[in-house]
Structure 1
Amino acid sequence: MSENKQPIRHYDIAPDSEYNMLMSVLRVSVSRHLMDEHYTVVEANPYYYELIGYPKDEYEALYHNQCSRYFKDNPEDWESIVNAVNEAVSAGYTSYETLARMHHKNGRLMWVKLVSVFTDETINGYPVAYTVMTDMTDYIEQEQALQRSNQKLLELAFVDPLTKGPNRSKFDLDAGGAILEGAPGAYVLVSMDIRKFKLINDLFGIEMGDKTLRHVYEVLEHHLQEGEFVTRVAADNFCLLLHNADKPMLVNRLEVMSRDINRFNYGIERKYFLSFVFGVCPVLDPNLPLTQLLDRANVALKSIKDTGDSRLFACRFYSDLDRLKLMREKEMENRMQDALNAGEFVVYLQPKLSLKDNTIAGAEALVRWQDPEQGLIPPDEFIPFFEKNRFIIDVDLYVFEQVCMLLRRWLDAGLTPVPISVNMSRAHLVHSNFLDTYKAICDENGVPPELLEIELTETLVFKNPDMLFQVIDQIHRRGYRCSMDDFGSGYSSLNLLKDLRMDTLKLDRAFFTSENADNPRERDVITSVIDLAEKLSMTTVAEGVETEAQAAFLKEARCDMIQGYVFSRPVPIPDFEALAFGRACGPAGH
């Protein structure tokens, strides 16, 4: 707009024309303006004043018909209008259109659409423009509300509320798209888990736990390259899609991420290092569903946990062996219930030989899977999987029932039964009243509970000792004996052992590393453990004894019983009966 070279006089507004009357009825503002620096109002219909809330006389008195004065408290929108006018004039247009905010007399800001047409008319040397203004506030606010609503929906659909990064759904879209666009083998999918993260929540509170997860996400995101993605899948589990590289480079990259996450420990006195495990699945087939790829990465991750690896950083790649294991586990899952119902699980007994008189003083019940097509499946192929999917509870109860039925049959045959021990998985401990089922089975068969011994593994005992004290007490109150299996396989605590009211201590085969039992230090340790058990009134059973030399040493060390291949491997029930009683005692059962 050109400079104003003459004083701006105040124009009298002409009477409403028919056009102005029509625009007022339609509630549209129509006004004439000089195209001077103030965009001075020459004439306006009544709705112009109604739109901004000022009566005509008040508007003229306050602003002298100068729009620049009216916009003095809203300079940004005035500048946008001026720029729209100048751009239209410079481009040779005969009109312009823009959207700006205007303030109502009551202070409310309105969104107003301005459409202006330039004319050939001049007043005092200034061109005249006609402007139509329409109140768009309701429409704009509805649009803004809709945008906010859409944004909120997008956040709910695609944003992790804790990390504020992409959630699993967004990750699936982005990572899945990148995989499909890339070549086979271009990416690896990584599943990452924080070990013992629950301790952070327990020790420092949920808020600190959430803060830690946000920190982990931010560090992982910082390490991403173009075309890579990360998300928090659930709780303390994260998933990354990374560009593939040779294994050492990938492992080093993941280890650097782990170290960087733990960098918060630098310079502080009380350190708390986070430990991470990574399962890596190379994306060799881009057409595989992302869920399936993640399952494979989780299999690799889980295998680290199963090995007990406790390093601050551990990584494993998914392999064909893992794939075969998955297929095998799925096959077992599909068959296990039908197999149990069909009696395919059979009880074997491994004799316990008394070293005092060389008689069979007991037995351990072990389960085998007699598959009609595959033959005898050893327990190490199915027990770990059943412990993972909790089907072990059904199998344990089945074995216990078969043992009770066997003891009943021996009693009915007039034999003096030997006590039989049965293994009990930690999965039972989830239910506080789990021994009620054991009691019901025992009572149904009319078996004296003292003929039954429940074996708890060392790892189970030392993982939650307070709970185990209560469990052992319950086992004794029901009349059963209780033994600690695999003692010495882990990090045994002699201090804790004094508080455990076990009846039997079973020495793990890990004690017996020398076939001839001629390692002095080994002999001293074994003798000390047996002496300690004797002082604590515990019966001792040595497991995994394989040589006569080992058996002779254990007898010398006053071990009560041995169990191992030196005497007998686990055998079917009829074979055990032949060893213990000189004859089979009727139907072997399952």
Structure 2
Amino acid sequence: MHGTYNLWLVAASLIVATLASYTALDISGRIAMLSKSRMRHLWLAGGATSMGTGIWSMHFVGVLAFSLPIPFGYDLKITAASLVIAILVSSFALSVINRARLTFARLAASSMLMGAGIAAMHYTGDAAMRMHPAIQYDPLLFAASIVIAVIASGAALWIARALADVSQRNVTFKRMVAALVMGVAITGMHYTGNAAAEFLPGSVCGAANDVDVHWLATTVMLFTFGILVITLVLSRYDARNALLAGSVSRLNGQIVHMATFDALTDLPNRRTATERIERAVKQARHAGNRFAILFMDLDGFKTINDSLGHSTGDEVLKAFAKRLLQCVRGGDTVGRLGGDEFVVMLENINVPGEAERLAERILEAMKKGVTVDTLSLQVMPSIGIALFPDDGESVEVLLKHADVAMYEAKRGGRSTYRFFEASMNEAAVRTLQIQQALHEALNAEYFYLLFQPKFRSGGDLAGAEALIRLEHPQLGLLKPLEFIPIAERSGQIVEIGYWVVRDTCRQMARWREAGRAPVKVAINLSPRQLHEADLVTRVMDIVREEGIESAQIMFEITETVAMQDAPRTIEMIRAFQNNGFEIAIDDFGTGYSSLAYLQRFGAKQLKIDRFFTNGLDANGHEGRAIVSAIIALAHSLDMDVVAEGVETGSQLDRLQDMMCDEMQGFLLARPLSAEAFGVLLESGKVSA
């Protein structure tokens, strides 16, 4: 007995199978996104029910497409059993897809089990018709239907696993194509099974009076479409909500990270580092432990920023942060407080030596230098160390004392470390007072100049050196050695330096207006000033505004500063000389200049440091030999020689015998006020 097919219903069965396949792919992706076990189980159960109903519905739409010349129907219990089989098979499939690993062996075994389940669902559905005599199956087509079911199952599992990641490109289109392929495979298995069935002549359907096949198929098809569509809508809605929630969560995490970590170095910021130190204080009090705070900043970092740009400075900070992380232990805190200031908290230490060893490791690590855009830079930190509870029992006090110790390290020569000592507090308070005084000094006119006369060997007045002084109403008279280093570190020295140039020019103008002979005045340049890009331009503006000739001013640069960046020094000297100024190398003998650089500097004068002048008396023949060699060297390079700190007659006699060009010191004249130096100009013979 042969049946016929309704092609429209065959197409409908393919659509149902494809929609069921797409639902399975979408749900597998949704389950893969879930992290909570409870939600995964809920979606697994719902997805299995929806997917199983879809596959089972496709079977009955296919049945509706097949017509026999006899009445037939379905046994309700056996039909329900086939539905249960479809749901169990779907549950198994979704479980396999979402396992951590899907090996080839596991895929093969799962394909066989799932294929057998689908075939069981199909042939259980056939059995629900209760045909008499029983349906006969062509062995070859029967086997082919099972093979198709196994292969289709394997392909479905592999495709679903491959498309479970929703982040890949064009995932929706890929799932649609894959669903169509899977739908064709499932439908092909069904119709191959149908082709294998042979209904013997005179067959009677024993379930013809149970459930009408047309009513069942139509109801199931509509019900299934509803289930699949609702499932898809819920899946997309839930996925969108989950995506939105995930985006909000990630955004919130990024905001929290930005609020607690430094954007440049990704180290804990000041707030986070402070909170961790507070937590360490509480734990250490409870357990009786000790810990150390290492406070550090980078020596000369502002120079790098000003000369090479902030992008280079940022790369230096990032490189230093990485080196710090390499030096500390896993549980230690490394934070950036801002600018070039960093802090390390070394917890659970037994002896101060552990903090000392860490400081030495950091200094040793930074000796290698850092490379930024093929440019090798030597960047070293100064480190201050404070211990809990010895040096403080609160975050504020510990950080303050570590900072104080760090500045002591800077005063001690930089690129070193110091432990906090109680005596440092007095120095820190004094430093703060002087910093405040410097802020007030320019506007309040607390600065004033003295002029140290310089004389030639014959006794003629050769000029003067401008010396700055600061007299504060509360702090009294401050020595340059006390406030100049503080002004240098804070950067205030730049504006102070311009004030010195302007006030010197004004005094020279007053002397000229009073009829005094023109005189050359030397002005010291600080290391920080030499790194100002517009230094020469601003100096020229001041000189023009005050009406002074450039030739009347000589700028002094210490040998140590000149050799810190010799090419830059040469460039700066040329710029000054091109504008009519003269240059002197000050404190000669305290640095490490080579003859080649001395020659390239092309300076007008070489000033012998007072240490060597004192050695003329204290060190006998050796002292005289050194000074004589310096004078001979300077003369060979066409440079005049000035000896500083001449305080005894014997020093003066020996310098004159050695043909020293100029001398200055207390023996000849103490630093004079502008008025007193004006009197000296009037009474003394000036040698230009």
Q: Deviations over 1:264-311 (max 9, x none)?
A: 9xxxxxxx999664211235444453xx7435424422433444355x
The sequence identity of aligned pairs, in percent, is 25
Tell me, yes or no, if the aligned pair for 2:382 and 2:409 is still in contact at 8 Å. yes
Q: For residues 103 and 109 of structure 1, do their structure 2 counterparts lie closer, same or farther at Cα, with a shift above 3 Å needed? A: farther
State the partner residue of 1:396: 497
1:281 maps to which of 374, 381, 386: 386
Counterpart check, 1:491 vs 2:599: no
State the partner residue of 1:352: 454
Counterpart CA distance in 1 for 2:542 and 2:313 is 44
Q: Which amino acid aligns with 2:334?
A: V
Secondary structure of 1:190 counterpart: strand
State the partner residue of 1:179: 281
State the partner residue of 1:300: 405
Higher RCO (CA 8 Å, separation ≥ 6 residues) = 2
1:220 maps to which of 322, 328, 331: 328
TM-score between both structures, scaled by the size of structure 1: 0.68
Counterpart check, 1:65 vs 2:170: no
TM alignment of 1:223-262, pairs within 5 A: 224=331, 228-233=332-337, 238-243=342-347, 246-255=351-360
Tell me, yes or no, if the aligned pair for 1:219 and 1:261 is still in contact at 8 Å. no
Counterpart check, 1:380 vs 2:481: yes
2:468 maps to which of 367, 372, 376: 367
Tell me, yes or no, if the aligned pair for 1:213 and 1:236 is still in contact at 8 Å. no
Q: Deviations over 1:49-102 (max 9, x none)?
A: 3687545345988993362664246349699xxxxxxxxxxxxxxxxxxxxxx9
Counterpart CA distance in 1 for 2:280 and 2:267 is 18
Counterpart CA distance in 2 for 1:430 and 1:539 is 27
State the partner residue of 1:330: 432
Q: Identify the range of structure 1 (447-456 vs 102-111) with the bigger mean alpha-carbon deviation.
A: 102-111
Counterpart CA distance in 1 for 2:544 and 2:454 is 26
Counterpart CA distance in 1 for 2:643 and 2:524 is 16
TM alignment of 1:34-113, pairs within 5 A: 48-49=49-50, 54-58=55-59, 64-65=85-86, 67=88, 70-72=91-93, 74-75=95-96
Q: Which runs of 5+ in 1 are unaligned?
A: 1-43, 80-101, 112-132, 265-271, 584-590
Tell me, yes or no, if the aligned pair for 1:454 and 1:482 is still in contact at 8 Å. yes
State the partner residue of 1:446: 547
Q: For residues 499 and 160 of structure 1, do their structure 2 counterparts lie closer, same or farther at Cα, with a shift above 3 Å needed? A: same
Counterpart CA distance in 1 for 2:531 and 2:381 is 27
Q: Which amino acid aligns with 1:342?
A: A
Q: Which runs of 5+ in 2 are unaligned?
A: 1-44, 61-80, 101-155, 167-230, 370-376
Q: For residues 547 and 53 of structure 1, do their structure 2 counterparts lie closer, same or farther at Cα, with a shift above 3 Å needed? A: farther
How far 1:363 moved relative to its partner? 1.0
State the partner residue of 2:626: 525
Q: For residues 65 and 229 of structure 1, do their structure 2 counterparts lie closer, same or farther at Cα, with a shift above 3 Å needed? A: same
Q: Identify the range of structure 1 (540-549 vs 507-516) with the bigger mean alpha-carbon deviation.
A: 507-516
Q: For residues 75 and 334 of structure 1, do their structure 2 counterparts lie closer, same or farther at Cα, with a shift above 3 Å needed? A: same
Larger Rg: 2
State the partner residue of 2:664: 563
Q: For residues 567 and 212 of structure 1, do their structure 2 counterparts lie closer, same or farther at Cα, with a shift above 3 Å needed? A: closer
Tell me, yes or no, if the aligned pair for 1:351 and 1:362 is still in contact at 8 Å. yes
2:652 maps to which of 551, 557, 567: 551
State the partner residue of 1:170: 272
Q: For residues 104 and 566 of structure 1, do their structure 2 counterparts lie closer, same or farther at Cα, with a shift above 3 Å needed? A: same
State the partner residue of 2:221: none
State the partner residue of 1:188: 292
How far 1:348 moved relative to its partner? 0.7
Q: Identify the range of structure 1 (494-503 vs 470-479) with the bigger mean alpha-carbon deviation.
A: 470-479
Secondary structure of 1:416 counterpart: coil
Secondary structure of 1:319 counterpart: coil
State the partner residue of 2:513: 412
Tell me, yes or no, if the aligned pair for 1:517 and 1:523 is still in contact at 8 Å. no
Greater strand share, structure number: 1
Q: For residues 182 and 51 of structure 1, do their structure 2 counterparts lie closer, same or farther at Cα, with a shift above 3 Å needed? A: farther
Secondary structure of 1:474 counterpart: helix
Tell me, yes or no, if the aligned pair for 1:195 and 1:277 is still in contact at 8 Å. yes
Q: Identify the range of structure 1 (441-450 vs 274-283) with the bigger mean alpha-carbon deviation.
A: 274-283
Counterpart check, 1:437 vs 2:538: yes
Secondary structure of 1:491 counterpart: coil
Counterpart CA distance in 1 for 2:644 and 2:52 is 96
Counterpart CA distance in 1 for 2:513 and 2:269 is 64
Tell me, yes or no, if the aligned pair for 1:351 and 1:360 is still in contact at 8 Å. yes
Tell me, yes or no, if the aligned pair for 1:216 and 1:261 is still in contact at 8 Å. no
Counterpart check, 1:156 vs 2:258: yes
Secondary structure of 2:615 counterpart: coil
State the partner residue of 1:86: none
How far 1:154 moved relative to its partner? 3.8
Q: Deviations over 1:476-505 (max 9, x none)?
A: 232222211111122222220011121111
Counterpart CA distance in 2 for 1:345 and 1:445 is 19
Q: Which amino acid aligns with 1:339?
A: A
Counterpart CA distance in 2 for 1:256 and 1:105 is 55
Tell me, yes or no, if the aligned pair for 2:616 and 2:623 is still in contact at 8 Å. no
Secondary structure of 1:221 counterpart: coil
Q: For residues 513 and 62 of structure 1, do their structure 2 counterparts lie closer, same or farther at Cα, with a shift above 3 Å needed? A: farther
Counterpart CA distance in 1 for 2:435 and 2:602 is 37
Q: For residues 237 and 431 of structure 1, do their structure 2 counterparts lie closer, same or farther at Cα, with a shift above 3 Å needed? A: closer
Counterpart CA distance in 2 for 1:50 and 1:562 is 103
TM-score between both structures, scaled by the size of structure 2: 0.59
Counterpart CA distance in 2 for 1:105 and 1:193 is 57
Counterpart CA distance in 2 for 1:336 and 1:385 is 9
Tell me, yes or no, if the aligned pair for 1:517 and 1:549 is still in contact at 8 Å. no
Counterpart CA distance in 2 for 1:321 and 1:293 is 15
Counterpart CA distance in 2 for 1:474 and 1:480 is 9
Secondary structure of 1:441 counterpart: helix
State the partner residue of 2:575: 474
Tell me, yes or no, if the aligned pair for 1:459 and 1:490 is still in contact at 8 Å. yes
Counterpart CA distance in 2 for 1:262 and 1:365 is 38
Counterpart CA distance in 2 for 1:558 and 1:106 is 98
Q: Which amino acid aligns with 1:65?
A: A
Counterpart CA distance in 2 for 1:46 and 1:187 is 57
Q: Which amino acid aligns with 2:274?
A: D
Counterpart CA distance in 2 for 1:263 and 1:541 is 39
Q: How many residues align?
A: 479
State the partner residue of 1:461: 562
How far 1:559 moved relative to its partner? 0.7
